[in-house]
Chains A and B, each alone.
Chain A
């Protein structure tokens, strides 16, 4: 397993310079959604708090770094940190309001969705942040210090590093006290509280980590596509696409979001290419696939792999 992982890592670093541009774009998309899935996974997968509104943090990250860049000339590398700070504060506020008043399960999901929609509507109507026209990020030439690159390859390495970083963080949280606490909250909140866990504090910590990571993804998006608008960044689809990676791959597992993205992202790309011209058909196909996965693999692909493995181990 370790050898396999090292080979995959070496290939992920060494092969992309030789790939055609389209493949590189697909790889970037895979890693980008895996990254967002991993960020969501810490709160949604481990702590079981199903946010439907991670687009709020994504958009805050994208808008904060872009506005700092456009209006004050601050490098997006620094703006990224500011965006994460803004998103973490917002996450803390949303989390405190919802958790303090005991919103659980679907109620929490709906509140997060509402907050993301609220930000989208504000962005649409606010001239100073570009309203519904959005913001164009200067992207001519190459300026590594300003997170602007002439071709796709550097962006690939940036998102590769971000994804590996998010997975490494997840791995270390899983093995730490915080990881046990997050899972205990997911499994049984009352029992966790009775066992001495400050469940509000645990959930808020999960919220802050998850929202800050998601904001980094927003800045990456802004720099890579060089354009943001309210629906692209604060829209529902950002929230849903990210959490689907984690759920299909296996929520609450380190590798789930990566695996989920390797399966879902190419399918969504292929469906879009194959069904071009039939508006909405690719979304329907995608939806059908999701229904199948969730009905037959409720624990995601990681759960299925674990079952197959334990069956193989049990067989003589």
Chain B
């Protein structure tokens, strides 16, 4: 599938204009806990941005807010210049902002192909086209041979791939990947790094939460670091990794990155 031709998106042209995603002053309070606090974040078309931080830093909550799964306490999320606040997740997905779940959420009783088809319906109106598109996406993520396997019988690495496939099948301009490498072995991590690069080559902009440091350093054009819900660093991976605040907060003096 030649997506560049199917959906021209002109990465360069867009990147000169307004950012694809612009988050301003985003906060989420759960009772006494400020899970995300005044987060400012922008992602330009064509970028791969890594979102990192210790456990409980508010990364997944930030994804929930951007995807419409939780209403923010304050702040704004603008995608392609339009506010996403108050929109339901499916409406946000329809506009080209898709996500994966940290804890994989397959349609357990459906086959891999059917899982991807549910995503493909977002852009493909009829069953035949959706099936075709889903098949292509499964081939792309390396699940082509398992298209007829029920999702509940897939191994964890395959379920992670399926999660990515379903997100990709929706035809996103921006894909939020939430820890798609957790629980994978080193070989599988290498494969996933390759997969993410190929997704970016297709013209999909990526915002990635990841704990696997080696992978996130290799992939990201830019790193954003969250700590206690606040952004403490934003910049080139090497600069961020050398930032004393990041080392203090993120590594907590526990030694070198894993």
- A223 beta carbon closer than 8 Å to chain B: no
Residues 162-221 of A contacting B (Cβ, < 8 Å): 175-177, 180-181, 183-184, 187-188, 190-200
Task: Among A175, A187, A191, A196, point to the contact of B121 (Cβ < 8 A).
Answer: A196
Complex-state Cα separation, A60 to B99, whole angstroms: 43
Q: Given A177-B126, A180-B127, A184-B118, decide whether A196 and B108 contact each other with a Cβ distance below 8 A.
A: no
Chain B residue, CB-CB nearest to A183: B110
Sample of 16 A–B contacts (CB below 8 Å): A175-B127, A180-B117, A180-B118, A181-B121, A183-B110, A183-B114, A187-B106, A188-B108, A193-B89, A194-B93, A194-B105, A195-B93, A195-B122, A195-B167, A196-B94, A199-B90
The interface size bin for chain A is: 20 to 34
Residues 97-120 of B contacting A (Cβ, < 8 Å): 98-99, 101, 105-110, 114, 117-119
Extra contacts besides A194-B67, A195-B122 (19): CB < 8 Å: A177-B121, A183-B107, A183-B110, A183-B114, A187-B106, A188-B107, A190-B89, A190-B105, A191-B101, A191-B118, A194-B98, A194-B99, A195-B119, A195-B121, A195-B167, A196-B90, A196-B119, A197-B90, A197-B122
On chain B, the residues within 8 Å of A176 by CB distance are 127
Task: Among B93, B109, B126, point to the contact of A187 (Cβ < 8 A).
Answer: B109
By Cβ-Cβ distance, the 10 closest A-B pairs, closest first, are A196-B122, A187-B107, A196-B93, A191-B105, A195-B119, A193-B89, A184-B118, A198-B90, A195-B118, A196-B170
Q: Given A196-B93, A198-B90, decide whether A188 and B119 contact each other with a Cβ distance below 8 A.
A: no
- B166 beta carbon closer than 8 Å to chain A: yes
Complex-state Cα separation, A279 to B109, whole angstroms: 42
- B69 beta carbon closer than 8 Å to chain A: yes
Quick check: A187 and B94 within 8 Å, CB to CB?
no
Complex-state Cα separation, A199 to B89, whole angstroms: 10
On chain B, the residues within 8 Å of A177 by CB distance are 121, 125-127, 130
User: CB within 8 Å of B: which residues of A?
Assistant: 175-177, 180-181, 183-184, 187-188, 190-200
Q: How many Å from the CB of A92 to the closest CB on chain B?
A: 19
A175, A181, A187, most chain B CB atoms within 10 A: A187
On chain A, the residues within 8 Å of B88 by CB distance are 193, 198, 200
B105, B108, B117, most chain A CB atoms within 10 A: B105
Q: How many Å from the CB of B97 to the closest CB on chain A?
A: 10
Quick check: B121 and A183 within 8 Å, CB to CB?
no
Complex-state Cα separation, A177 to B127, whole angstroms: 6
A181, A188, A191, A197, most chain B CB atoms within 10 A: A191
Chain A residue, CB-CB nearest to B68: A193
